[in-house]
Structure 1
Amino acid sequence: SRFLNSVTVNVAQSHGSTSQIVPSNFQRSEQSKDSVYFRDGVRQIDFVLSYVDDVKRDAELKAERRREFELNLRKTGLELEIEDKMNSEDGRTYFVKIHAPWEVLVTYAEVLGIKMPIGESDITRPQNLPLSYMLGPVKLPATVKYPHPEYFTAQFTRHRQELFLIEDEATFFPSSARNRIVYYILSRCPFGVEEGKKKIGIERLLNSNTYLAAFPLHDGQYWKPSTVPTHVNERYILHKNWARFSYFYKEQPLDLIRPYFSCLDLSLQTPLFFPEPHCSLGSAEICDPHIGGQMIMCPLCDEVCDYWRLNTTCLHSNRDGGGFNHLFDNESTVFFAIFMGIWVTLFLEFWKQRQARLEYEWDLVDFEEEQQQLQLRPEFEAMCKHKKMNPITKEMEPYMPLFHRIPWYFASGVTVIFGMALLLSSMVSVIVYRLSVFATFASFMESEATLQSVKTVFTPQMATSLSGSCLNFIVILILNFFYDKVSAWITKMGKFVGYPGKYTYMFSVWRSEECDPAGCLIELTAQLTIIMIGKQLFGNIHEACQPLIFNWWRRRKAQTNSEKLYSRWEQDHDLQVFGPLGLFYEYLETVIQFGFVTLFVASFPLAPLFALINNIVEIRVDAWKLTTQYRRPVAAKAHSIGVWQDILYGMAILSVATNAFIVAFTSDIIPRLVYYYAYSNSSSLSGYVNNSLSVFLIEDFPNHSAPLEKTDFTTCRYRDYRNPPDHESKYVHNMQFWHVLAAKMTFIIVMEHIVFLFKFLLAWMKPDVPKDVLEKIKRESAFLAEG
């Protein structure tokens, strides 16, 4: 980069000479296997590169690239020490240990705009709030929560070092800042010119297998503290206070995470509160042998399905008896949906304030505007052949013209379209499965026993829904594999079934399945339960077991001679790679969970509870794998969660509409209310079931859909609001259908306006940045001006 060439000269001149490799007359037996220092025991290892001798025909090319790359690294002022393959446990891997001396650190700290302490803050930390004693069990000890004093900070400048609190040059920059600086140099260091093109960056060397790995070291073993008095094993402290599962109820030690990783998984893993749905006065007509037991329902499929009695679905339809349907579909569902619409606004507004507080505490205020623009991606710089004047900095910068970007846009568009087509085909396949097996379930579940009023737990609707949900879950897992864990959930909020004699068919073959007479909500609930819980269980088991198994296997393959020293860099080399997309998958998983909690909460009130349980487990699983099973990731900074925040806000707005439609068209609440206020003669729900079922004349069945067995019944019932067969406009929607539809649309409009009004009021009332944070920012600026 344009910075690297000038900075390299300055650093090399200040050093006077390039660093030298320590002679190989060092006895490894004198070195601890947990050492994070060079052989002299003084210079700290900030980064490690590894490679093996390649016997293929491009071995010489790779060796030449390594020689050129390492020579250029030394020119920047970095110090290198190479461990021969004979010293490694597998006898074939070379390790290049890198140390950044003081001059390199101060130079690139200024280039990267790293903020460092200039004085201890004179603003006291917030004291215990009222009733805070109730949160005592979840609080960490003060020495763990605040392990260091709070400082005012400023962007580091090497020409004004006297402004900063430099007590010891060896410990002034935290290890996360050191490895970030070294990686910045590695990603921009050239290793040669090929075909007239300048080749730069460690990532290219890794992609070509010139180097096997590039990683910063963990501080030591996670299960024991450091034995060196001058070295603090931050990995051990972090594992002890963050990754232990016995601390599942404790808050997270952010001030311990920051100096070690310098990046934060702002994954919104926050407890979610929700009210339990309660049962209210309802109707037991479905279970009544004199009402539901006397109602003959129309067949659920063509020809092979028989008639059945309504009370066979009693076990999951009963309202007074606590049936499955009423557990999720009751009067409190409306208020719960409205409450969750308001809650999601409160959640995001409090999150903005929490994010603003973290921005200040983690020295990320104005980070995006002031520093990020100076850190162009090295691969982009190497790719660009054109430059243009930056109107702000008045400097020439790499620029890619539109005609060069069009092919990439086209490739991206084709990929997205293909993915959408694959998703759509998978969705259609699940629908076809449901329609095809519905008739099968109905044919052997709706036997003669159903006409004898035998109550069954699993109706054909329920069996189809559960099996279809399991298939849906398997499809999502498969698509996750092909889409890099891009998950999708498929739900149906409305069904167009038709009516006896004029059913709706898919592809003229499969007849549309019908909802249970007690409502469709239980089917959507079953789908969401299986998909959400299944994804959470599979995700946590996969995240915990996959790195454990892989690390065990790699360690087993590498262990050839137990007498050799299994050094710190070899131990970390055998761990899994977190990768540049590691946090992306964590965010994606959390945002999908946020969608379950908000978009479909009206049909799945237990989603917040499962999300809370999952987050409690997920926090400790992630902490455990980051501190024990993965290499230490390169430090990275970001002032916010970026585009994920826009996605969350989009979900929050969309959730109001989805929950309103779920309550209106999937739940049975609105039809019951319309009946109660407009059609009931006794101001109760008595007679509602009979009112909600229309009558069909059996002799009107077409030959291809009528049951094969003859019966003595002349009519059957089906769920709809249509005129009876003796009406002049038989089987046409009656006036009650239009009243219910109007009530549904009115409910949607009213609910959306109420929730959006509260959302806008709450967003307007709560500032994005807390008042105390603003005061700290102003006080820090004043302190810097005084200094």
Structure 2
Amino acid sequence: MTSYFGEKVALYYLWLGWYTILLVPAAILGVIVFLYALAFFNTSPLIKEVCESDTVMCPRCDKWCQVWQLRDTCTYAKVSHLFDNEGTVFFAMFMAVWATIFLELGKRHKATFVSKWKVFDWCEEEEELILGVVNDPDCHPKEFRHSYLRSTLVLVLVTLMLVLIIGLTQALVVFRVVAAVLLSEGTWEFVRDHANTVAVMLGAVLHYFTMQVMTRVNKAVALKLCEIEKTQSIAATERSFTVKMFTFQFFTLFSSLIYVAFFLGSVHRINGRPGSYVRIFGKWRLEECHPSGCLTDLFIQMAVIMLLKQTLNNIFEFTVPWFKSYFRRTTTKKLERKCGDCYKNACREEEKRGHDPCDICKLHDWLRNYDLNDVNFFSLFNEFLEMVLQFSFTTIFVAAFPLAPLLALINNIFEIRLDAIKMVSLERRLVPKKTNNIGIWNKVLEAIGVLAVIANGLVIGVSSDFIPRLVYHYHYGPCANGEDNVHCMKGYINDTLSTAQITDLNVRKDFSPSQLITESGFNVTQCSYKDYRNDVDYSLTSQFWLIIAVRFAFVVLFEHVVVIFKCIAAWFVPDSPVVVKNDRLKDKLSRLKEELQDMKYSQSTDV
């Protein structure tokens, strides 16, 4: 591959193959965690408490939503249990350490082949200088320059671009809120009953299409910013563009997920409470999580985006070049007919005489190669960007979606073959380029590994119900009170609910009289909602503050423990195998001996 495509393309496939191999243990453990939750699916006291509850819950929206029974969301509670259980905590820790091990073992794997290809000491800047000297022996190097004005301008423009992307995320939030209201007013009973879930799924689909549009916008903006910077070399321009493009794409993909994980599912309800709801433009109530937690909403977002992104991207990535190549072939059929049997016979006659193939026969091959799709710098860049973003999905929010490594593994098995077919059969050959690493992508992957530790710690400590369940188990539950023969989590669901009195004037303003009538025609005088508040004055209880303290203590402990394991893993696994180090040491020694002999010879000649 190196002799035809060059080291740059070869290293991409080397990295992708290694990434796919190491996804196997991550995918297996993710499936085990999922099966662990499935094994206790029917015996979990939390699910049983939801499914058998008679608790009347407050309306989830204005006007058309009525009070509802907590047991109506039995299925939702079961799904939440699959992705919010004790196993996901350890799986998140494993994936954070796995990311470090993947990077360190990847460096060793790369070092073996780089040494074999004799490009270990290759320097990108030196090659550009050599090419300049070859083209013009009297050329002068482009000197390094730095302009604070240009840097400030680029920083301001990048900030404005990120503000725009975050603004689009807020627009998606408004869309979900409005969609939930409109769906709850619809004619289909199923859609009305599951308006919030359907709105989340529609928001995820819309988010996907927004990503497709913003990808093109991000690329154009990143290129323009690189022009403003006026970087010193082609390599520097490539690094600058990569960092900017990845940053824009990262915020485009993850802003919505960050909102669901850390704001919608925050330690305190940002949507307010009955009698004091937060409203968009003073009209629409802000969306809220299900009483079973916000991780299911995060899981739905991730599943829809990953499935759509990977499936549709692979389809378009292969079919678009195929159709382009097909249409190119149809436009050159007339020329190929002219280079028909007569030219082939002439070529055969020339070959029989021992001569080289005729130029006409070469022209036939050129026409066939011309039918292939054109390539440029973005051809390989897009492949790297797609895989690195997938790596982000696989590691950063894996606590909410343990099956993400499995989906990534299945995708990559097809991705490798489709990319190979596309590069060999559907596209012109990339200009071979020499390199000894994957460039700035190494730094990007390391940054993702750090973000994975922070994000998963926050997802478990802030968004999930792991900490509230832990506090209840050891401080408020039956076991903490010395009760025997009772499950330690009995009564947990009721403990997480607060009560709103309909006699309160502020509460009554938020709900119309028709909303407070149950399906059996009973007028309720109070309803429940998920929060830790006093039923009299709605002040936050001491349990709420204890849970917040434990949440933040867990986040700090989780991140420190995982970072320690990551440092140990990075230290334990050397970047280069011993064989490669010894080979390089021998090469350096032999080169120094040759230089010393040349020096002695030149001195003796001078004498």
Fold-level match, TM-score > 0.5? yes
**Aligned position for 2:582:** 775
Query: Relative to 1, partners in 2 of residues 1:555 and 1:311: Cα closer, same or farther, differing over 3 Å?
Result: same
Maintained 8 Å contact 1:697/1:715: yes
**Aligned position for 2:242:** none
TM-score calculated relative to the size of structure 1: 0.60
Report 1:477-556 matches (<5 A).
477-484=212-219, 487=249, 488-489=252-253, 490-491=256-257, 492=259, 493=261, 494-495=263-264, 496-556=270-330
Given candidates 431, 443, 460, the residue that maps to 1:646 is 443
Displacement of 1:732 in angstroms is 0.7
Within 1, Cα distance between the matches of 2:365 and 2:87?
58
Amino acid in structure 1 at the alignment position of 2:307: I
Given candidates 305, 308, 314, the residue that maps to 2:65 is 305
Amino acid in structure 1 at the alignment position of 2:143: Y
Query: Relative to 1, partners in 2 of residues 1:654 and 1:774: Cα closer, same or farther, differing over 3 Å?
Result: same
Within 1, Cα distance between the matches of 2:143 and 2:590?
40
Within 2, Cα distance between the matches of 1:445 and 1:355?
59
**Aligned position for 2:2:** 258
**Aligned position for 1:20:** none
Displacement of 1:371 in angstroms is 3.1
CA shift digits 1:324-373 (9 cap, x unpaired): 11111111011111111111111111011112112212221110178336
**Aligned position for 1:160:** none
Count residues with an aligned counterpart. Answer: 498
Structure 1 residue 283 corresponds to structure 2 residue 45: yes
Displacement of 1:302 in angstroms is 2.1
Structure 1 residue 706 corresponds to structure 2 residue 511: yes
Within 1, Cα distance between the matches of 2:334 and 2:124?
51
Given candidates 372, 375, 381, the residue that maps to 2:127 is 372
Within 1, Cα distance between the matches of 2:171 and 2:62?
21
Query: Relative to 1, partners in 2 of residues 1:401 and 1:306: Cα closer, same or farther, differing over 3 Å?
Result: same
Given candidates 495, 501, 513, the residue that maps to 1:697 is 501
Displacement of 1:504 in angstroms is 1.4
Structure 1 residue 731 corresponds to structure 2 residue 538: yes
CA shift digits 1:292-340 (9 cap, x unpaired): 1x110001112332101101110121xxxxx211111111011111111
Q: Equivalent pairs: percent with the same residue?
A: 33
Within 2, Cα distance between the matches of 1:446 and 1:698?
29
**Aligned position for 2:558:** 751
Maintained 8 Å contact 2:47/2:74: no
Given candidates 658, 663, 677, the residue that maps to 2:460 is 663
Maintained 8 Å contact 1:353/1:767: yes
**Aligned position for 1:438:** 180
Displacement of 1:414 in angstroms is 6.2
Displacement of 1:780 in angstroms is 3.8
Maintained 8 Å contact 2:502/2:508: no
Task: Give the secondary-structure state (helix, strand or coil) at the position aligned to 2:209.
Answer: helix
Amino acid in structure 2 at the alignment position of 1:555: R
Within 2, Cα distance between the matches of 1:398 and 1:611?
43
Query: Relative to 1, partners in 2 of residues 1:735 and 1:288: Cα closer, same or farther, differing over 3 Å?
Result: closer
Within 1, Cα distance between the matches of 2:383 and 2:556?
36
Amino acid in structure 2 at the alignment position of 1:640: N
Displacement of 1:445 in angstroms is 9.1
CA shift digits 1:48-100 (9 cap, x unpaired): xxxxxxxxxxxxxxxxxxxxxxxxxxxxxxxxxxxxxxxxxxxxxxxxxxxxx
Within 2, Cα distance between the matches of 1:370 and 1:774?
24
Amino acid in structure 2 at the alignment position of 1:261: F
Within 1, Cα distance between the matches of 2:386 and 2:132?
26
Structure 1 residue 626 corresponds to structure 2 residue 386: no
**Aligned position for 1:398:** 142
Task: Give the secondary-structure state (helix, strand or coil) at the position aligned to 2:409.
Answer: helix
Amino acid in structure 1 at the alignment position of 2:94: F
Amino acid in structure 2 at the alignment position of 1:315: T
Within 2, Cα distance between the matches of 1:713 and 1:675?
29
**Aligned position for 1:420:** 162
Amino acid in structure 2 at the alignment position of 1:688: Y
Task: Give the secondary-structure state (helix, strand or coil) at the position aligned to 1:429.
Answer: helix
Within 1, Cα distance between the matches of 2:47 and 2:414?
43
Task: Give the secondary-structure state (helix, strand or coil) at the position aligned to 2:374.
Answer: coil
Structure 1 residue 721 corresponds to structure 2 residue 540: no
Within 2, Cα distance between the matches of 1:288 and 1:430?
30
Within 2, Cα distance between the matches of 1:670 and 1:749?
13
Report 1:90-169 matches (<5 A).
none
Amino acid in structure 2 at the alignment position of 1:397: P
CA shift digits 1:448-495 (9 cap, x unpaired): xxxxxxx99973332221111111111111112322386322212232
Query: Relative to 1, partners in 2 of residues 1:636 and 1:562: Cα closer, same or farther, differing over 3 Å?
Result: closer
TM-score calculated relative to the size of structure 2: 0.76
Task: Give the secondary-structure state (helix, strand or coil) at the position aligned to 1:543.
Answer: helix
Displacement of 1:287 in angstroms is 5.9
Within 1, Cα distance between the matches of 2:156 and 2:389?
24
Displacement of 1:702 in angstroms is 4.4
Displacement of 1:562 in angstroms is 4.5
Maintained 8 Å contact 2:201/2:300: yes
Within 1, Cα distance between the matches of 2:69 and 2:187?
12
Given candidates 17, 20, 25, the residue that maps to 1:270 is 20
Task: Give the secondary-structure state (helix, strand or coil) at the position aligned to 1:302.
Answer: coil
Maintained 8 Å contact 1:445/1:459: no
Within 2, Cα distance between the matches of 1:422 and 1:577?
33
Within 2, Cα distance between the matches of 1:416 and 1:595?
21
Within 2, Cα distance between the matches of 1:446 and 1:286?
29
**Aligned position for 2:354:** none
Maintained 8 Å contact 1:547/1:629: yes
**Aligned position for 2:196:** 461
Greater Cα radius of gyration, structure 1 or 2: 1
Within 2, Cα distance between the matches of 1:397 and 1:288?
72
Maintained 8 Å contact 2:280/2:286: yes
Query: Relative to 1, partners in 2 of residues 1:679 and 1:410: Cα closer, same or farther, differing over 3 Å?
Result: closer
Amino acid in structure 2 at the alignment position of 1:557: T
Within 1, Cα distance between the matches of 2:124 and 2:330?
48
Amino acid in structure 2 at the alignment position of 1:259: S
- Report which stretch shifted further, 672-681 or 473-482: 473-482
Task: Give the secondary-structure state (helix, strand or coil) at the position aligned to 2:20.
Answer: coil
Displacement of 1:419 in angstroms is 3.2
Within 1, Cα distance between the matches of 2:64 and 2:296?
26
Give the CA RMSD over aligned residues: 2.8
Task: Give the secondary-structure state (helix, strand or coil) at the position aligned to 1:259.
Answer: coil
Maintained 8 Å contact 2:112/2:577: yes
Query: Relative to 1, partners in 2 of residues 1:267 and 1:477: Cα closer, same or farther, differing over 3 Å?
Result: farther
Within 1, Cα distance between the matches of 2:324 and 2:47?
58
Q: Report which of the two has the higher share of strand.
A: 1
Maintained 8 Å contact 2:101/2:569: yes
CA shift digits 1:747-781 (9 cap, x unpaired): 11111111111111111222211101112223344
**Aligned position for 1:113:** none
Amino acid in structure 2 at the alignment position of 1:673: L
Within 2, Cα distance between the matches of 1:370 and 1:429?
44
The unaligned stretches of length 5 or more in structure 2 are: 220-244, 265-269, 340-362, 518-522, 595-607
Query: Relative to 1, partners in 2 of residues 1:443 and 1:717: Cα closer, same or farther, differing over 3 Å?
Result: farther
Amino acid in structure 2 at the alignment position of 1:563: R
**Aligned position for 1:167:** none
